[in-house]
Structure 1
């Protein structure tokens, strides 16, 4: 039987994560990952939720850390589950939120090597993470209401 610490170590338990579909003047921010997982793929800024952290607090923290942007969260746009496989070692449940840009300008760092403000339907033309076009469309529709 495995020791308790081994049972708690990833990838043995799903990890909760958040991402933000951030819109500014009708355009969506996409970022390209500079390291694994998903190195070289465009996605939304976000990351893991820390223990005892609310989803909103995690989203604000992750967006600020990754992009230096301030956002206003509008609504949950959808979710995506990433299961362990050839491209991903871990199991993640990603809660994606529609958000509006409030301030700041995106900056590159060790996690991101490119960013673009694009039309939401232009996501399909990029090398993107699974589920991104559907989340982008759902977030765009939520913000047009």
Structure 2
């Protein structure tokens, strides 16, 4: 017997959940300080994060990361090994992001501009923070300090709520 939908059916097919967004982030530590950028360009929150952002299809994770870091900070980096996978979820907006963090270094001789403009107009602040300063600064993910200033091996930070 062939299945046919009801003529006057008001039922919609079940909604498919949104797929998680994939992002890459750079852990850049120099002279005992980690580079952090603002997470929002508005006054929504003082939350800081490692530089990086969403990946573009057809470009490798390291290439995406080098592009994002240059856009957000004006710096040219060498992308090293992955060291942290983080995921978070904002239940009210159903935003779910998976981030892959890489250990990175600034290419020797790279200009370090005091003034730069993020082409996406998101990052308006960048700061170098010591481990103690990071601990006193609102940031995500929670495990960032331990990974940046201690743990050598890969780490996974399980699903955490995005607190702002």
Same fold, TM-score > 0.5, yes or no: yes
Q: Deviations over 1:47-78 (max 9, x none)?
A: 01111211101100110111111112222120
Report if aligned partners of 1:108, 1:114 keep a CA contact under 8 Å in 2: no
Equivalent of 1:15, from 12, 21, 25?
21
Tell me the number of residue pairs that the alignment of Structure 1 and Structure 2 aligns. Answer: 133
Task: Give the Cα separation in 2 of the matches to 1:123 and 1:52.
Answer: 34
Equivalent of 2:50, from 41, 44, 57?
44
2:96 maps to what in 1?
Answer: 91
- What RMSD over aligned residues (CA atoms) do the two structures have, in Å? 2.5
Structure 2 stretches of 5 or more lacking a match?
A: 1-11, 153-164
- Structure with max Cα Rg: 2
Q: Secondary structure of the equivalent of 2:95? A: coil
Task: Give the Cα separation in 2 of the matches to 1:48 and 1:30.
Answer: 16
Structure 1 stretches of 5 or more lacking a match?
A: none
1:112 maps to what in 2?
Answer: 123
Task: Give the Cα separation in 2 of the matches to 1:43 and 1:60.
Answer: 16
Change (3 A) 1:104 1:81: same
Q: Give TM-score, length-normalised by structure 1.
A: 0.77
